[in-house]
Structure 1
Amino acid sequence: MTVDRRTLLKSAAAAGALGAAWPLTAGLSPAQARAAAERLGARYDTAPFTLGVASGDPRPDSVLLWTRLAPEPLAAEQDLPDIVEVRWTLAEDPGLRRVVARGTAPASATLGHSVHVPVTGLTPGRTYHYAFSALGRTSRTGRTRTAPGGTVGRVRFAAANCQAFHDGYYAAHRGIAAENVDFVLHLGDYIYEHGQVGGVPEDHVRDHDGPEILTLADYRKRHALYKGDPALRDAHAAHPWFLTWDDHEVVNDYSGSTGGAPFVRRRAAAYQAWYEHMPHRDSFGDSALPDPEIHRTRDWGGLVQLAILDLRSHRSAQNLPDGTILGTDQKNWLKHHIDNAPDTWHVWANSIMLSQLRGSPGGPYMFTDQWDGFLAERKEVLQHVHAAGLEDLVVVTGDWHSAFVDDIRTDYDDPESPLVGTEFTAHSVTSGAYSPEWNRTNGPVMGAANPHLKYFEGNRYGYDVYDVTPERFSAHMRVIGDRRDPDSPVTTLTTFHVDRGTTGSHEDQATKNSPAQYRRD
């Protein structure tokens, strides 16, 4: 029988013995930590490739391959030489017989024995398979895909966010691994940094992720614990990923451009650990640290232009008249992207909600950690979208642990202001949402207070799949039955469409009677 991760943590906390259940409790040996992780459903690949393989940032002629050597995944330091040569192979077939490229890369202790290999000279729009070998062992085989070089008639991609390990199993990632998609987009909160706080409420375990993490060793172990869930490794091995981040990769609600020396050290440790564990391509290579470059644009077959935003590293404090969530350089880059955008679908990967969200009609904003804390800059950017004549804008968002569909307007305080796009906010993979009672009560309240809000559903967990053609952008909300079940089935809750050349979304008639806590008629 599979152990229920959330119930085990609740029981341990109620008995005053959380340390007996949580793998990253201080004082545990690496073997004890791994045994505790396995009691919570972790299953690692064969050493030294325990954390699996991944690929990322696909381009028409290249892709980034990743792995990390971690024979003892939950150890603070690996018992390895300072530098280990890792062989990699990329081939056209799963058996790796039709080899396209191969080489070696150094895995250094400085970067946690991680490997980031940018493979170039590839054929556009082609599926490839890859593996690594080192220390007499070979990794599992991963599958990846390059971006198309010409025009395509369809793009499919999945979006995931907010995957607290302690809140449930990654059945959603098992679903993503099985999807027929071109790539996966992760919108942030890949890990959670916080520690144990007080008791464990019946339906809310999110404040119980062991001791709070502060150092590079802490963040490395937290990433390694999360990658212990086999479904997450399967999703990485099945598809190439594009990545951004939110706050919990470092600390809740942080602003990357402010803070004293202790915070700067903590942020640098968190950023390095994130880089060590992600298939992230940086224009500066390994010298990108301590500040990896997140924002970028990528074209997919002339059908989708993807703009990936970094809404943490460059922001100021919230609620300032001249506050910034983008930072000067990134805002200028985004405006340039808007001004020079091709005639295609424009998709912004956005880690926190862009649309206004008031708690009651005319009342205060609910969460100013979102774009609601940067009102002037939001209006400036959206008015620039309108002035530039940018059409077919779709913003995909994470963070809220619930699903929203919003119209995007240049001025949310004026419901008659120009409509310039649609925002889809996806369910979380596992991270705890508000209670069903809260959702039932506040769904209609949010609907009344926010005339641009078209849909809200907060009782489920899962991911989105976006299906894009020249005529239509469709958002399929995939949900799991139970985050306590690693084999939970995946179904489609509802589907929304945006038609090309028509600003605004509409729900598919076939799913319009699905459960929701708010739906605008």
Structure 2
Amino acid sequence: MSLDRRNLLKAAAGAGALNVLWPLSAGLSPAQAQEAAERLGASWDAAPFTLGVASGDPLPDSVVLWTRLAPEPLAVEQSLPDSVDVTWVVARDRELRQVVARGTVPATAALGHSVHVTVSGLDPDRRYWYAFRALGKRSRVGRTRTAPAGRIARVRFASANCQAFHDGYYPAYRGIAREDIAFVVHLGDYIYEHGQVGGQALRDHEGPEVFTLPEYRRRHALYKSDPALREAHAAHPWFLTWDDHEVVNDYSGTRGGSFVKRRSAAYQAWYEHMPHRDPSAGAHGTALPAEPRIHRVRHWGDLLELTVLDLRQFRSEQNLPDGTILGAEQRAWLGQGIDRAPDAWHCWVNSIMLSQLRGKPGGGYMFTDQWDGFLTERTDVLGQVQRSGLEDLIVITGDWHSAFVDDIRPDFNNPDAPVIGTEFTAHSITSGAYSADWNGANGPLMGRANPHLQYFEGNRYGYDVYEVTPERWTTHLRVVGDRRDPASPVTTLTRFHVDRGRAGAYEDEATKNSPAQYRRD
């Protein structure tokens, strides 16, 4: 195997030649940037649809289709007219012969020549295929699916998070693309705004971070250059939330000054590259609203209620007595959902860890950027869950670059408090975790310090697949053999089950001897 992406970048940084190898270095022409990206394993769909196609936010009668015209994907500006007509088609077959909907929309410079088409009038619980055409060329064919309505017996879906381009390839996404699943949930950190390789900044004349709309656009385009990521987008519809690195590390919504402009640019670029449904965005070619709404509730028939949370945009600073991670409006909205919850599995899409995490017995919280920094609100939310009688709560989480399974309790400091749900924190796609030595030493310490912690594994990378029936929830922890190898195989490390009507997870007997740095006896 040739030298992998991560080690190539580290070697270049050590030799002082990173400005030649890093595709987004200042001074590179679009052709030179593309050549540098290709040396790191990048490839592109045929122009102008270089970044592929995607679909998202499926409802029983509609879905959002996405693409972006980018003939020179890493250019600061595209050599395109201000507005380009893009035609789209949706069909019942892969060959696009049984057409059910078609139309034409403008791709405007104001939206980075991205296209978001809300296709309505579709049948529930049905697969469709779609494609775009512009400038005499056709995109690849994508596959999507509408949500079911009414009673269903089963759903399988996957989650992904934390995919630092400079930390490895995306064999996990090739696995996701080939899974028999209905949809994908992305839990945040789709891009990274900084440029770190082995602790060394990817410094060039623009600095190690991205700040402006053109810079964020180029960073998203670089990430889309991995063929496995484009394959996963084209294979399934996605639900999306974000975490911090879509903007900047550990930010809160209360920052002012120049940060507001930077955040607006980051949100704009995120929208331009995602199959996200925002009715107020893109009207007459305009930009995204200053405060885009990404929190929402979606239902997969009568089986699953999916509550997508936004834990960045409206949060206060951490460690305040009256701090909020949700913001007043989202907190009220979540509370109404708790009190009016239907009889179903309730899955909260949660970008950062909800459960308490102390580093060692008697020690402090490891990270107060997560819910541990918003104790009053967490106690309030989980107390409402307990008082409401809401059952069958599953929280799926990213951010940590390691796998955790936690009992959710309304009071994490009281081991006798009732279990009211389970949190599954998934491995990252590529983003670097702690070392194997650190995991081996600290896994048992975290276990002793957190009686609600069932399981910790931090030496691997991958994604989770969730299989849900009216009787049971099963989480399959999928892992790749080596993130340095784009063809690395995917295997199942272990499985956990939660029985309907009975809070708390348990590990499958067939996989409970798999490697881990901590298991609760």
Query: What TM-score, normalized by structure 1, do the two folds share?
Result: 0.97
Shift of 1:486: 0.2
SS at 1:58's partner residue? coil
- Which residue pairs with 1:384 in the alignment? 384
SS at 1:368's partner residue? coil
Q: Which residue among 203, 221, 225 is the counterpart of 2:222?
A: 225
Letter of the structure 1 residue corresponding to residue 261 of structure 2: R
* 1:240 partnered with 2:230: no
Letter of the structure 1 residue corresponding to residue 271 of structure 2: Y
* 1:280 partnered with 2:279: no
- Which residue pairs with 1:29 in the alignment? 29
* 1:270 partnered with 2:263: no
Distance, in Å, in 2 between the alignment partners of 1:47 and 1:517 is 46
SS at 2:495's partner residue? strand
Give the alignment of 1:207-218 within 5 angstroms: 208=202, 211-218=208-215
Residues 208, 502 of structure 1: CA spacing in aligned structure 2 closer, same or farther, 3 A cutoff?
farther
- Which residue pairs with 1:255 in the alignment? 252
Distance, in Å, in 2 between the alignment partners of 1:291 and 1:255 is 13
Alignment: residue pair count: 514
Residues 2, 102 of structure 1: CA spacing in aligned structure 2 closer, same or farther, 3 A cutoff?
farther
Give the alignment of 1:313-392 within 5 angstroms: 313-392=313-392
- Which residue pairs with 1:159 in the alignment? 159
Percent of residue pairs identical: 72
* 1:520 partnered with 2:500: no
Distance, in Å, in 2 between the alignment partners of 1:60 and 1:104 is 23
- Which residue pairs with 1:429 in the alignment? 429
Deviations 1:11-56 (A, max 9, x none): 1011111111100001111110000000000000000000000000
Shift of 1:409: 0.3
Unpaired runs of 5+ residues, structure 1, are: none
Query: What TM-score, normalized by structure 2, do the two folds share?
Result: 0.97
- Which residue pairs with 2:398 in the alignment? 398
Shift of 1:283: 3.2
SS at 1:271's partner residue? helix
Letter of the structure 1 residue corresponding to residue 225 of structure 2: G
Shift of 1:208: 4.3
Deviations 1:162-208 (A, max 9, x none): 00000000000000000000000000000000135xxx54xx67x54
Distance, in Å, in 1 between the alignment partners of 2:194 and 2:50 is 24
- Which residue pairs with 2:89 in the alignment? 89
Give the alignment of 1:433-444 within 5 angstroms: 433-444=433-444
SS at 1:44's partner residue? coil
SS at 2:194's partner residue? coil
Unpaired runs of 5+ residues, structure 2, are: none
Letter of the structure 2 residue corresponding to residue 225 of structure 1: L
Deviations 1:429-452 (A, max 9, x none): 000000000000000000000000
Distance, in Å, in 2 between the alignment partners of 1:500 and 1:339 is 19
Distance, in Å, in 1 between the alignment partners of 2:481 and 2:488 is 6
Letter of the structure 2 residue corresponding to residue 284 of structure 1: S
Distance, in Å, in 2 between the alignment partners of 1:259 and 1:147 is 38
Q: Which runs of 4+ in 1 moved over 6 A?
A: none
Task: State whether residues 3 and 39 of structure 1, in contact with CA within 8 Å, keep that contact through their aligned partners in structure 2.
Answer: no
Task: State whether residues 244 and 309 of structure 1, in contact with CA within 8 Å, keep that contact through their aligned partners in structure 2.
Answer: yes
Distance, in Å, in 2 between the alignment partners of 1:360 and 1:15 is 39
Distance, in Å, in 2 between the alignment partners of 1:468 and 1:209 is 46
Task: State whether residues 3 and 41 of structure 1, in contact with CA within 8 Å, keep that contact through their aligned partners in structure 2.
Answer: no
Distance, in Å, in 2 between the alignment partners of 1:291 and 1:461 is 33
Task: State whether residues 43 and 230 of structure 1, in contact with CA within 8 Å, keep that contact through their aligned partners in structure 2.
Answer: yes
Letter of the structure 1 residue corresponding to residue 251 of structure 2: Y
Shift of 1:329: 0.4
Distance, in Å, in 2 between the alignment partners of 1:9 and 1:314 is 36
Cα root mean square deviation, aligned:
1.1
Shift of 1:292: 1.7
Shift of 1:416: 1.2
SS at 1:157's partner residue? strand
Distance, in Å, in 2 between the alignment partners of 1:289 and 1:112 is 15
Deviations 1:36-80 (A, max 9, x none): 000000000000000000000000000000000000000111000
